[in-house]
Each structure stands twice: as structure tokens, then as C-alpha cells.
Structure 1
Amino acid sequence: MADTARTPQAAGFDLDAYLQRIGWEGERRADAATLRGVHLAHMRGIPFENLDALRRTAPSLDPADLMAKLVHSRRGGYCYEHNTLLACALEALGFGVTRLAARVVVGADRVESRPRTHMTLLVEEPGDPQPYLADVGFGAIGALLEPVPLTAGVEFRDAERRHRLVHAPHHGPLELWVLQAHDRVKGDWADQYAFTLEPFEKPDFEVINWHIGTNPRSPFTQRVYAQSITAERHLLLNGPQLTRTRADGAVVEQEVTEEEQARRLLDEEFGIEVPDGMRVLSQ
């Protein structure tokens, strides 16, 4: 199969450096195998973290700044950064990408009780009518490891996780999709986030990003939140609570009470270099 014609790279984005950062050495084609491989490599190659928001600073979503932070530095980011970076890569490879805004509904009683604050992606392969939901920026154990086809009511296995998409009733004119993750411990399905297929543009996410990164009521401005994923485990630091979840579902929790301990964990286990002069556990 010949390489699919690619679209020009976004100004400031370097596909070679990005693929090297995530460790992807496979084909550079706009096909399903490349989409799955790049997505999984990104999830395991770049950590999730909110250190900028913890300092009440909305991170830049400019491709050059994302390259400097997530690719050329030992840093990560949150959903807008990760998924903007992935979108740049997929577009450079020749995929069609639509940015979507979702309502995070983990623990919510109603979909409508949460605002649209999460960025996710609808990805299309040239010549294939089946679009995919892709998302490398959901900082939770229920996150996608690989993209899944946009098909309702079908269970998908993405790496070592299980997901499905379902429709939910709502009062709007567009179909409401809900991403669900299978809870291995409870043995049932848990809602992760809800979205419609209405495209959102760069100015929309600049506003949402500023709100989440600076609002004192935002969860990301109140406590450190970092995630690292390998084939063997999911590692989450949520404030002082460190949770290790093994691939078989076993969970080990630990309290992190010392600043130096938190910085060492972020450095050695998450691959995150904390900026000089910043306190992680207390602001």
C-alpha cells in the first residue's frame, strides 16, 4: 500500500521529533493500523500533568509551544495540549481530524450537570467511511488506549482495556454519544464523557483552556494531577494520593506527604521535571 498524500504540517509542528518522542517507528500512513499505533505510543510516551494550571497559568496551545513542552522537554500536559498535538500529527500523516468538546460525566448524576470542558477527536481515514474516536488527553483510568470506531453498542478492546460507545437521550438536535469504560473491579460499565459531533474550533478551546487553567474553582488549579501509563501499570498522583493500578486490575494506594517525595516521584516514575521554584503539594 502506498503512502497516503499528507497535508502540510502545522506551523511549528515537527512530525519527526514527535514520533521520536513517543517511540513510534512504524509506517507513516493514514490507515487504521498507524492510527492505533501512534495513539497507543502517545499514551505510553507522554505523561498527563497539570503543573501549569496548578500555578494558575493556562498553557499555550500553539504547536511550537506544545513541541517545546511535551516533545523537547520532560513535561506532559492536559487534554487540550495532548489532543492538539495528536491532531497536528494525524493531520500531517493525512488523516481528517475534527475537534470535539465533551462533558466529563465520571461520577455525575446527569450529563447536563457538567460543562463541556474536555477535548476529544473524531478521526477519519481517507477512503474509509468509518470514523474513529481518538483521545490521548483523558487523565483517568477509563481513558482510551487506542482509538475506537464511532459505532454504538459494540464493545471494543483497546490494548488491555475495554470500551464501548452508547447513545443517551437528551434535548438537543444532535445525537449524544457517551464513552463507557468497563470497570474490572465492579464488573460493569462506567460513563466517562458525553459528546456530540458538533465541531469546535481553536478559539473555542482557547477560551475553555483559559477557564480550566486559571479558574480557582477548576479541579486542575487546586491540586497536582499526574498520570503515567505503561503496558504493566497505570500510575496516578491526585493531590497526595498515589494510586498504582496493575494491568490485572490490582490496586495499591499510597499517601505522599512530603514535597521532596512528590517531586522525586514525578521525576523518576512519571518522567516529569517540575519547574524550578514550584511547590507540588501545597501552593
Structure 2
Amino acid sequence: MSSATVETIANSDFSPFDDGDLAAYLARIGYPGPVAPDRATLEAIAARHPATIPFENLDPLLDRPVDLSLPSLMAKLVHGGRGGYCFESNGLLLAVLRRIGFTVDGLAARVYWNQPNADTPPRTHMLLRVALADGPVLIDVGFGGAVLTGVLDLVPDVVQQTPHEPFRLLRDRDLWEQQIRIGETWRTTYRFDLTVQEPVDYELANWWTSASPQTHFRQMLIGARSVPGKRITLRNFDFAVHNLGGATERRTLESSAEVCDTLERDFAIAIPDRIALMRRLETLRSANV
């Protein structure tokens, strides 16, 4: 295991990410190890992280800041029983992988998932490119209900299996497009190029995603967890279980208290302020009546 100090992705904080932090992360995702900078370790992490550290946006929804410093990410995602969105999950993973000894870079993508008619959305998604002996791969543990639960070889026009749905990458010169197959339909998740991002790039995008009045993360509750055989999602009061290769079960939750119970039970989220969240949910319900 490499003993090199790993820089935090936050521009103002260069705290070390040590072996104790790595052990705590691996315990959080239920990975017994050992770890090595190889594909088997990467695949195991890609499957376990989205199953145990959910996608959620409680902080932006409750007007709480999203801090990308490594100490904050460890306190929230590893020790605090919380999840997060892409900059948090993939930011933490960047430090984890570098500590293990991987060569890894952060990239940025424009999200087209659930907004197919968008002209040119901003680069508000973080993903990671990892160098392996047999070629570069992508790993992304922070994309909500359509998150990768495996790794993708960075090659175009090849259907690639994951523990959940098949994925593929398309390429048009320097532009790459990730797609997921839902049933018999290929749907675009995001588009990206291979320009390596600097910490300040993520800080700027994170500010917009967490604080701008235009971001949907401040306008609705979003939760997602991908466990073996199914994906679990929540959008405000709409709860769904998408069974792999089977039917989707949907129901509308009846109250803000039931939403909180669902977040705690099905998403394993330690809600930071249950009363504030219930009030915010009631505001959202009233706005949609």
C-alpha cells in the first residue's frame, strides 16, 4: 500500500488521508480487503460504495453548505452515516484510490439524464479515470439512480456488463458519451471529455450545484441506493424499487414522517435535522398541490 500523502480535493485544505482513514472507508462499505491497485479491487469498491453510501442531497435541500474537504467528507460519508452527491462520493473515492496506489484523475461531465432536451447543460458531474495495466477505465460512484456499479473500459461502441444494467460509451472525436440500457432502450447519462479537472473546478461546480437557486438539488429531495439485484430511488414523496430484470414497484409516501422513515430504513441515512427536513418536505408538497 502506498504511503504517499494524498491531497484533499478542496483547494484550501491539504490534510493527509492516512491508512486509518482508508481502513475506516473500507469498513464503511463492508469490504474486508486486502486491497491493491488492480481491477479486482476497483470492481469491488464500485459495487459496494453505491450499496452502502447512498446518493442524497439533504444538505442543499436544507440550505446547508457542502464542504468538499477530506476531513468533512470523512466525517459525513464515513463516520456520520450520511451519503452525498457526485463531488462528495467521487471526491472521497479519489483520495481512497490514490491511497491504495492507483493512478487516478478527476473528470467533469454534462448531465443529460432525465433532461434529454437540454441544449448544453453545465459541467456539474464528477467522474474518475483510473489507469490500469490493461488500459484506462472509468469509475463513478456518485450518479444517483443510474450509477455505475462496475467499471467501464474507456473504449467506444462496446456493450459492457455491470452488476446492474449494461452500459456503453460512444465517442465523437474528443467527446465521449455514456449510455445505460433500460429495457431495450439506450439512454444517455452524461457527456464528457478527458480534460483533467483541478480542485478549483470542482469547488466552483459544487457551489452552483449546492447553492444556486436554479439547481434542482435545492428544489426536490433525491435519494438513491443501488444494492445487489435492485435500485432504490426517492424523489420527494415518490418511492420506487427497480428490480433488476423485473418489474418496478412504485408508491407515493403519505407523509413527511414516512419519507424520513424511508430515508433511515431503506437508504440507511442518518438525517441531520429531521424536524427541518419534515418542514421542507411540507413546503415542497404545498408548492406542488
TM-score by length of 1: 0.90
- Identity value in percent: 34
Instruction: Determine the C-alpha separation between the residues in 2 that align with 1:91 and 1:223.
Output: 34
Query: Is residue 80 of structure 1 aligned with residue 78 of structure 2?
Result: no
The 5 A counterparts of 1:85-104 are: 85-104=92-111
| Contact map agreement 1:7 1:93 (CA 8 A) in 2 | no
Tell me the CA shift for residue 208 of structure 1: 0.7
| Contact map agreement 1:180 1:192 (CA 8 A) in 2 | yes
Query: Is residue 68 of structure 1 aligned with residue 75 of structure 2?
Result: yes
2:128 to 99, 117, 121: 121
Closer/same/farther in 2, CA of residues 249 and 176 from structure 1, 3 Å limit: farther
| Contact map agreement 1:12 1:64 (CA 8 A) in 2 | no
Closer/same/farther in 2, CA of residues 112 and 176 from structure 1, 3 Å limit: farther
Instruction: Determine the C-alpha separation between the residues in 2 that align with 1:7 and 1:181.
Output: 36
The 5 A counterparts of 1:138-217 are: 138-140=143-145, 142-168=146-172, 175-184=174-183, 187-217=184-214
Q: Deviations over 1:130-172 (max 9, x none)?
A: 11111000012x321111110001111111321010113xxxx
| Contact map agreement 1:225 1:236 (CA 8 A) in 2 | yes
Question: Unmatched 5+ residue regions in structure 2?
Answer: 8-14, 284-289
Aligned to 1:248: 245
Please give the secondary structure, in 2, of the residue aligned with 1:278: helix
Instruction: Determine the C-alpha separation between the residues in 2 that align with 1:165 and 1:238.
Output: 27
Please give the secondary structure, in 2, of the residue aligned with 1:131: strand
1:251 is matched by which residue type in structure 2?
Answer: T
1:78 is matched by which residue type in structure 2?
Answer: Y
Closer/same/farther in 2, CA of residues 110 and 123 from structure 1, 3 Å limit: farther
Query: Is residue 132 of structure 1 aligned with residue 137 of structure 2?
Result: yes
**Root mean square deviation, CA, Å:** 1.7
Tell me the CA shift for residue 58 of structure 1: 3.3
| Contact map agreement 1:108 1:114 (CA 8 A) in 2 | no
The 5 A counterparts of 1:10-49 are: 10=7, 11=15, 13=17, 14-49=21-56
Please give the secondary structure, in 1, of the residue aligned with 2:68: coil
Instruction: Determine the C-alpha separation between the residues in 1 that align with 2:40 and 2:70.
Output: 25
Closer/same/farther in 2, CA of residues 100 and 124 from structure 1, 3 Å limit: same
Question: Unmatched 5+ residue regions in structure 1?
Answer: 169-173
Aligned residues: 270
Instruction: Determine the C-alpha separation between the residues in 2 that align with 1:212 and 1:108.
Output: 16
Instruction: Determine the C-alpha separation between the residues in 2 that align with 1:109 and 1:237.
Output: 20
Closer/same/farther in 2, CA of residues 78 and 245 from structure 1, 3 Å limit: same
| Contact map agreement 1:227 1:270 (CA 8 A) in 2 | yes
Q: Which has the higher helix share?
A: 2
Please give the secondary structure, in 1, of the residue aligned with 2:76: helix
**Runs of 4+ with deviation above 3 angstroms:** 107-112
Instruction: Determine the C-alpha separation between the residues in 2 that align with 1:29 and 1:101.
Output: 26
Please give the secondary structure, in 2, of the residue aligned with 1:155: coil
Please give the secondary structure, in 2, of the residue aligned with 1:273: coil
1:279 to 277, 280, 288: 277
Tell me the CA shift for residue 56 of structure 1: 2.5
Tell me the CA shift for residue 252 of structure 1: 1.0
Instruction: Determine the C-alpha separation between the residues in 2 that align with 1:278 and 1:210.
Output: 22
| Contact map agreement 1:56 1:215 (CA 8 A) in 2 | no
| Contact map agreement 1:48 1:139 (CA 8 A) in 2 | yes
Tell me the CA shift for residue 12 of structure 1: 5.0
| Contact map agreement 1:178 1:193 (CA 8 A) in 2 | yes
